[in-house]
Amino acid sequence: MFREFVSSYYYGLETCRQEVPFDDLERVLQAILTAYEADRTVFVFGNGGSASTASHLACDLGKGTAIPGRRRLRVVSLADNLALLTAWANDTSYEMVFKEQLENLLQPGDVVIAISASGNSPNVIRAVEYANERGAVTIGFIGFGGGKLKELVDLDITVSSCNYGHVEDYHLALDHIFSQYLRQLFRTASDQEATANDAVESRT
């Protein structure tokens, strides 16, 4: 029985992978790269398991892509400051905990990545609505077919699975895909710049 359960679980993960067009992944990658090139900030947030993924994504994009001597990608998770989260929840409502943080920090051209398995979390929706009003680029990592969030974001990576495990596992895979590819990209660019500089110096 356990063997069948494991096989079924893996099948669900593979289904998530297969149903996301590569073009959707590429558009999200380009949005993050554009933010980096313009020296903008990437904000990430979510609830529960998605909050954990937001923390992980902020770590991997911020630290995991860092190359010595190269400007770093600026990434902030809005799910990590417990004092701030509970203060806004207590003084306003839990629905406002991400939107209120964005009011302090968000600038036009920044990128907002909202992570939600259901696509219907009120605090995620409110934050994305505010980000849209402020001229940010909004991205959704979503499950359950998309929910309300899919209709609000500029770009989305959405899977149809209604299994929280499958959705959260796939979102974590997206974290590693984007962060590891960006590290490789930044490393290659740094190596090419170093080679070009050496060539210039050798001619002088």
HSE, CB side, 13 Å, CA atoms: give it for residue 197.
Answer: 6
- The confidence score (pLDDT) of residue 164 equals 97
The rounded distance, in Å, linking the Cα atoms of 143 and 35 is: 25
DSSP 16: H
Structure token digits, residue 140: 């959704």
The answer to whether 167 and 158 are in contact (CB under 8 A) is no
pLDDT tens sequence across 12-53: 999 999 999 999 999 999 999 999 999 999 999 999 999 999
Residue with tokens 């770009």: 155
- The confidence score (pLDDT) of residue 192 equals 85
The rounded distance, in Å, linking the Cα atoms of 94 and 113 is: 19
Those residues of the chain that have pLDDT short of 70 are 198-204
The answer to whether 140 and 156 are in contact (CB under 8 A) is yes
Encoded amino acid at 89, one letter: A
- The confidence score (pLDDT) of residue 191 equals 85
Domains contained in the chain, CATH given: 21-187 (3.40.50.10490)
